[in-house]
């Protein structure tokens, strides 16, 4: 499979799945971990991308007044399967490798060289992010949406038209104007319903397996 970024096509056999969502705490990490556990033969490299707002250091993820270029991007490899962090959950689910990429808000492009290196070394990759769709054309992109949550990340709205399928709570109804989007953008996309805490359903796993 080939993946594309702004600098052109990069050859490789890696399959890339991107999982995003319109806000925090709606199950994105659970979907990623569920797919890793359900498809262990893929030998996943898992990557979580976080973009911090003003005044938060990418190196530490904590308030900081630093303005140095060295703190604009940080990449760390997770090695603890039991810490309970999102990247630890990926390892516990069966990922071969797990990484946390942090950048300043709006500066993901500064991390793309390192992200491309991680992808080049992967057998298959699954990435929790919205904004990565600006730079890569993955094999499959999923978006977790919950109409009961009104908060809507700009990155989720910006790239929603590039998403291949939706992951939503069972029985979810999207009111017209929710999130400032047109429902026509959603109505023709495949939809996979879940009942928490089982965010990753057999139907979703089959869909992903077939697409890869």
What would the pLDDT profile of 115-170 be if each residue is shown by its tens digit?
A: 999 999 999 999 999 999 999 999 999 999 999 988 888 888 888 889 999 999 99
- 171: tokens are 């029985």
Is the Cα dihedral 136, 100, 186, 31 positive or negative? Answer: positive
For residue 71, name the pLDDT band (cuts at 50, 70, 90): low
CATH number of 13-211: 3.40.50.300
pLDDT at 115: 95
What would the pLDDT profile of 50-60 be if each residue is shown by its tens digit?
A: 987 544 444 44
Closest to 212 in 3D by CA, of 17, 6, 12: 17
Q: Any idea what DSSP says for residue 30?
A: H
Is the Cα dihedral 56, 60, 64, 70 positive or negative? Answer: negative
In three-state secondary structure terms, 142 is strand
Q: How far apart are CA 92 and CA 98, in angstroms?
A: 10
What would the pLDDT profile of 101-113 be if each residue is shown by its tens digit?
A: 999 888 899 999 9
pLDDT at 16: 97
- Structural domain boundaries in the chain: 13-211
**Ramachandran area for residue 115 (φ above 0: left; ψ -120 to 50: alpha; else beta):** alpha
In three-state secondary structure terms, 102 is strand
């Amino acid at each position: 499979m080939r993946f594309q970024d702004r600098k052109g096509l990069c050859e490789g056999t890696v399959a890339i799945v991107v999982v995003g969502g319109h806000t925090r705490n709606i199950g994105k990490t659970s979907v990623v971990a569920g797919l890793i556990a359900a498809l262990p033969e893929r030998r996943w490299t898992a990557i979580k991308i976080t973009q911090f707002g003003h005044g938060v250091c990418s190196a530490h993820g904590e308030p900081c007044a630093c303005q140095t270029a060295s703190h604009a991007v940080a990449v760390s490899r997770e090695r603890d399967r039991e810490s309970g962090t999102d990247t630890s959950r990926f390892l516990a689910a069966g990922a071969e490798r797990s990484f946390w990429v942090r950048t300043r808000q709006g500066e993901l492009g500064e991390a793309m060289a390192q992200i491309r290196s991680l992808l080049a070394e992967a057998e298959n990759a699954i990435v929790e992010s919205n904004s990565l769709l600006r730079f890569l054309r993955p094999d499959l992109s999923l978006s977790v949406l919950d109409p009961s949550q009104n908060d809507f990340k700009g990155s989720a709205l910006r790239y929603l038209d590039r998403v291949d399928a939706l992951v939503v709570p069972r029985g979810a109804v999207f009111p017209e104007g929710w999130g400032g989007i047109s429902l026509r953008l959603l109505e023709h996309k495949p939809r996979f319903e879940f009942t928490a805490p089982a965010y990753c359903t057999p139907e979703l796993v089959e869909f992903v397996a077939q697409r890869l």
